[in-house]
Amino acid sequence: MRCPFCGNVDTQVKDSRPAEDHVAIRRRRFCPACGGRFTTYERVQLRDLVVIKTSGKREDFDRDKLERSIRIAMQKRPVEPERIDQMISGIVRRLESMGETDIPSKTIGAIVMETLARIDTVAYVRFASVYKNFQAADDFDKFVSELRPPVAEAE
């Protein structure tokens, strides 16, 4: 695995342990060239998903991209990072088990919003406002007024 700091490909695994309720293996890595430390996750990939954008353009599904957008929405929210990881894995599993390799970006957006709505209303509004690309403030106000209060998790 290439070091993200210096580009050296000869990095070492210092520690491996199950993560996200054994859905992933988390590895702590060390780069002998620059002393950098980083973490990688190994996961089962059931199928290669392709995202069909609204324009009709096809694009390989990028878990990191999904994760970035969710983390931006979750910024400074009182939700454990581990919980966010679980949520992202759950979304990906849902997509992978839909039985189709081609998934419209709209479907992914809807699943993310549905998941966020259950976990954190603020993150949901943030994500939805970007995702739905609300131009007019009126639309956004209407959207917010239609939000339901978050449902408590039964855990």
Residues that bind Zn ion (CB under 5 A): 3, 5-6, 8, 31, 33-34, 36
User: Whose Cβ is closer to Zn ion: residue 12's or residue 101's?
Assistant: 12
CB of 14 to Zn ion, least distance (A): 14
CB of 73 to Zn ion, least distance (A): 31
User: Whose Cβ is closer to Zn ion: residue 30's or residue 140's?
Assistant: 30
Asked if 29 and 1 count as a contact pair (C-beta separation under 8 A), the reply is: yes
CB of 137 to Zn ion, least distance (A): 47
From the number of C-beta atoms within 10 Å of its C-beta (0-12, 13-18, 19+), residue 73 rates as buried
User: Whose Cβ is closer to Zn ion: residue 33's or residue 144's?
Assistant: 33
Angle at 150 between CA 149 and CA 151, to 5 degrees: 115
| Gyration radius (Cα) of the chain, Å | 18
